[in-house]
Structure 1
Amino acid sequence: MSFGPVLILREVAPRVVRLAAVYARPEGEAAPRLVAEGRDYEAELLATIDGQRIWRVSFELPRGIEAVYQSDGQAHVVDTAYDGDMRIGFVSCNGEENGDIDRDRDERNAMWKRLADRHGETRLQLLLHGGDQVYADEVTHGHPLSEGWPDDSPETASDTDLAGLRVHLRARFLERYRISYTAPGFARLAAEVPSLMMWDDHDICDGWGSLGAVEETGVGRTLIAAAREAFLLYQHAATEADVPDLFLDPTGRSLSFRRDLPGVSVLAPDLRGERTRSRIMGDAGWAAFEAACDGLEPRVLLVSSVPLLGPRLSLIERAMRLTRRMETYEDDLRDQWQSYAHREEWCRMLRKVLELEAAGHRVTAISGEIHLAVRAELKGHSAPVHQLVSSGISHRAPPKAWAWVLGTLARLGEAPIPEHPIRIRPLPGRGGVYAAQRNFLTLERGGDEWRARWTLEEAGDTPWLTI
């Protein structure tokens, strides 16, 4: 059941890089031992779940070199030279809704292995995870209160029964993370490349935030509490006590975050923590996000877990309401910025992005969620805002017919902000707009220039795109 180290980036300080490493170890087994620059760092116990102890080691590495640390006697190299050329990986959608645990490990993790091999050739310095780091949809199975979630869920339950459900869910979330974090390819990357992660719905359950009143039942609140604990523990090496220091909203209602590296800011709004069927972010999330837009670095990487720029999905969403056979997909479309229910809020976000671009920032939105690869451009005042979508790293691609449908919608165009049209573009070197293959994204800085490249499972690397 062990996993770790999984490195989480805390801060790029003037002389050092501050990191946290998260581990799981069976009860009775010694705490992990981490040594860096001749210093022993003490492990801190964060939680005990299902016979496993979750540990965190907070430590520092010197900035600007290929630094080495030892974890339980094994050496790992971390490239902390963030000041010059930089290489960042981006992944999303690490799993599938049904049967993910039972998939063949080599098939499931083929793209992780390819990314790890690429890192072995040219080191990544940061790995961004854009959502659905695990697919937790089946964690509700096996307990009488949640077996029928969300369609057949009790409106009330006793405190004792809910406490039992919490024990069940905490164990099942740990199991999902263990399987993901011990996967071939992932484990090496996690030990050598600091990560920044933002959750999406499958880190909780399919469609969380768009399911309606069932989310406010005792079962729903127990589920989100267990998912939030797991998100903090395994994706941020944190507990609730750490929230004010790590996230933009000190109240913790929103788990948006910002991390600054030399010349580039990573800004990740939480699009799930306050979501309802009628909003994407609440007052706390918007206040924290807008305050964080001050003092950004010249380059901004906006991690939007669902694509910020996309086709007119509201047309499909409205058509689905005409037939009950399509109602099961309605929450998937309600999840999107482009939903008719979120159009005003979508425009608010687009205006903020355009404000940053007008102030001289180069903004690139990076997203996952749709299990396809695509790019888009929002016409700016002086430079385009690029949207890069890379999804998924292990989720198998949907039928090519769905990619064709989206490509047809893309030709209709979209301009929610007058004089700033959105255009959906093919990947570099490809004809079709949407690529229905598993994929990951690499971003590189060389001098003052940034560029991006997709790696597709079947077609291989695209040409580089200057962004």
Structure 2
Amino acid sequence: MSMQLRHAFDSEKLVSCLNDAIIIGHVSYSTAKVWVRSKHRGKHYIVLSDTPIQPDEINIDASDTYSALQIGFSKVSSVTLDDTTDRTDCVEFQNLQPSTRYWVALIADRSVPARRQWRSGYEIPATFKTQQTNAKSLVFGFFSCHDPYKKGHGPEDIFLDIHNRLNELNGDFVIAGGDQVYVDSSTKEFDVWRWVTNNKEQLKPYFEAQDQAGLIKALSYFYRFIYRLYWQSAHFQKLVRSFPTYMIWDDHEIMDGWGSLTEDELSDKLDTLFEWEDSEFNLFIAHAMFHAAAQVYHEYQHSHNPTTPTLPHTSLANSQWDYSFTHNLASFYVLDQRGHHKFQNPAGYDLLGSSQFSRLSHWFENIPSTAKAIFIVSPVPVVHWSCTVVNMADLGSYKDDFRDEWDHEANHQERNELLDLAFNASQKHQIPVVFLSGDVHCAASFKLKRRSNSGTVYQFTASGVTRKPAPFVSKAISCAKGALSGCDVLTTFERLAFGTQNNFGIMKLFVEGEQTHLVAEHISTTDEEDETLIKQVRLV
């Protein structure tokens, strides 16, 4: 079956969207992932150089472009970009030198009908440095919740602030901790789910033919448009082409509160006003939308993370989006809280799923002795809101948001097991465990302790990089100190910092002699766009 959906996004020419782009992905001592997108279909080349790229010195007009590039660059990889992946691709370069800076460019083959062959990396540099084998310091950035179309949003200049702060501190990489796009934007013309709800008649032929693959293919167009729209910012592009960038999705790459609704509640989301429709039809659409969201998430985000056995084009049941990576001073695990999130999951582990939790447990058993800190990216914070608010709000319109929370009573057992892993690892290795989170549109730091355990666990949240921050009342329902509810072992927390401005975070870990220091920075923008406020929190 084949049909062409007509929708609001057909007027893409009316808005500015991403065309040519480079993202530096996972970088180790000897490897680097490089993601690219071109405006044009066809054969392209991704080139790597150990010196700044000078386009005038490379003869790409030669009849054999590939041979010419091999002479001019350290490494060359050819890719064929087409519409099956929205003209994106990601390659991994091998056998690089440690602690070495490289420059990257994207070049179109002569067969591509483009006015210029140099597509990206030739005017504004794209560059990265491989890891240092004996590094004594680690500096990385963290941000989440990018929505420049929300009323009252913050300026996209904040991505330049992240870039400049990392540059100033000789930063290593940046982590994007969720909601890098909002497919259910509050701006109605960019809300995928709103369009589907209002135009379900166009989707009925797919349902009648049970052509889920065809519907996924059609819906992927919507999701790709949102990525191109949200990521076109010059400041965002400068950041992700200047520092290795690790990403993980949260609910807004799919829909608000994905995984926190029952099947009946999910069906209700797609009912139109005054019309309760066939739930089988609604769920057919909803599950196709999740598949489309997952496919496009893989294309734009996950493909440049450390490689996992994700199968975006086949069964999602066994797909893995959680991953780990290492630095000389620290171990990182990035949790996926959406791909297998299922409220009231009969198998338990509603937030992570049993397979992911098993992988995480095994990873905790193999922390290297050289690690000075453990960082766990949890898109939703382990501690933030008052547990009373979280569980009472389950009855109202915010139930999906609060069911996402680790402190919701439905998630207590899973959270307790997670904290057991964290505290035991901290005690065993005598190093801090830090949860890095977004989601809540506030900046916050918490310290967690247990009487029966010498380990120390921290919660660091940087959220609302451009998304409108939560109102000041958020501080009133975020407890300053107390004990976590539903814990088998008394676990106390103390708030160290809090903020409700647009913000991002910086983490600084360094060794001086026998001393290890860990300092967190909450960096927020003020009403004056050319000013930033830095609040430092010493963790170790």
TM-score range, shorter chain: 0.7 to 0.9
* Alignment-derived partner of residue 293 in structure 1: 364
Match for 1:236 among 302, 320, 343?
302
> Does structure 1 residue 461 correspond to structure 2 residue 461?
no
Within 5 Å, give how 1:167-316 maps onto structure 2: 167-213=217-263, 214=266, 217-237=283-303, 243-244=308-309, 252-278=318-344, 279-297=350-368, 298=371, 299-313=373-387, 315-316=388-389
Structure 2 counterpart of 1:455, which letter? I
* Alignment-derived partner of residue 91 in structure 2: 57
Residue 340 of structure 1 deviates from its aligned partner by 1.2
Residue 56 of structure 1 deviates from its aligned partner by 2.0
Mapped partners of 1:464, 1:66: distance in 2: 31
Mapped partners of 2:342, 2:193: distance in 1: 27
Within 5 Å, give how 1:422-461 maps onto structure 2: 422-427=492-497, 434-447=498-511, 448-458=516-526, 460-461=533-534
Structure 2 counterpart of 1:391, which letter? S
Corresponding residue SS for 1:134? coil
Structure whose CA Rg is larger = 2
Unaligned ranges ≥5, structure 2: 1-17, 51-72, 108-120, 268-279, 345-349, 527-531
Q: State the TM-score, normalizing by the size of structure 1.
A: 0.84
Residue 70 of structure 1 deviates from its aligned partner by 4.0
Structure 1 counterpart of 2:240, which letter? A
Unaligned ranges ≥5, structure 1: 428-433
Mapped partners of 2:78, 2:439: distance in 1: 34
> Does structure 1 residue 22 correspond to structure 2 residue 35?
yes
Please list the CA deviations of residues 338-377 of structure 1 after superposition, one character each: whole Å capped at 9, or x if unmatched. Answer: 0111111111111111121121142111111100011111
Mapped partners of 2:434, 2:482: distance in 1: 23
Mapped partners of 1:353, 1:169: distance in 2: 39
* Alignment-derived partner of residue 54 in structure 2: none
Residue 78 of structure 1 deviates from its aligned partner by 1.8
Mapped partners of 1:228, 1:20: distance in 2: 20
Corresponding residue SS for 1:192? coil
Number of residue pairs matched?
A: 438
Aligned 8 A contact 2:425 2:455 in 1: no
Mapped partners of 1:182, 1:103: distance in 2: 19
Mapped partners of 1:442, 1:246: distance in 2: 33
4+ residue segments displaced more than 6 Å: none
Aligned 8 A contact 1:377 1:387 in 2: yes
> Would the alpha carbon gap of residues 146 and 167 (structure 1) be closer, same or farther in structure 2, given more than 3 Å must change?
farther
> Does structure 1 residue 89 correspond to structure 2 residue 145?
no
Residue 175 of structure 1 deviates from its aligned partner by 1.8
Residue 274 of structure 1 deviates from its aligned partner by 1.2
Aligned 8 A contact 1:140 1:147 in 2: no
> Would the alpha carbon gap of residues 212 and 42 (structure 1) be closer, same or farther in structure 2, given more than 3 Å must change?
same
Corresponding residue SS for 2:44? coil
Q: State the TM-score, normalizing by the size of structure 2.
A: 0.73
* Alignment-derived partner of residue 112 in structure 1: 159
Please list the CA deviations of residues 209-242 of structure 1 after superposition, one character each: whole Å capped at 9, or x if unmatched. Answer: 0122137821122111111111211112269xx6
Mapped partners of 1:245, 1:276: distance in 2: 19
Within 5 Å, give how 1:368-447 maps onto structure 2: 368-380=438-450, 381-406=453-478, 409-414=479-484, 416-417=486-487, 420-427=490-497, 434-447=498-511
> Would the alpha carbon gap of residues 218 and 238 (structure 1) be closer, same or farther in structure 2, given more than 3 Å must change?
farther
The 10-residue stretch of structure 1 (302-311 or 80-89) with the greater mean CA deviation from structure 2: 80-89
Mapped partners of 2:332, 2:460: distance in 1: 14
Aligned 8 A contact 2:49 2:74 in 1: yes
Structure 2 counterpart of 1:376, which letter? F
Residue 266 of structure 1 deviates from its aligned partner by 0.9
> Would the alpha carbon gap of residues 7 and 416 (structure 1) be closer, same or farther in structure 2, given more than 3 Å must change?
same
> Would the alpha carbon gap of residues 383 and 292 (structure 1) be closer, same or farther in structure 2, given more than 3 Å must change?
closer
Mapped partners of 1:143, 1:27: distance in 2: 30
Corresponding residue SS for 1:259? strand
Please list the CA deviations of residues 353-404 of structure 1 after superposition, one character each: whole Å capped at 9, or x if unmatched. Answer: 1121121142111111100011111115224211111102111111112222
Mapped partners of 1:335, 1:182: distance in 2: 29
Identity %: 20
Mapped partners of 2:311, 2:460: distance in 1: 26
Within 5 Å, give how 1:338-349 maps onto structure 2: 338-349=407-418
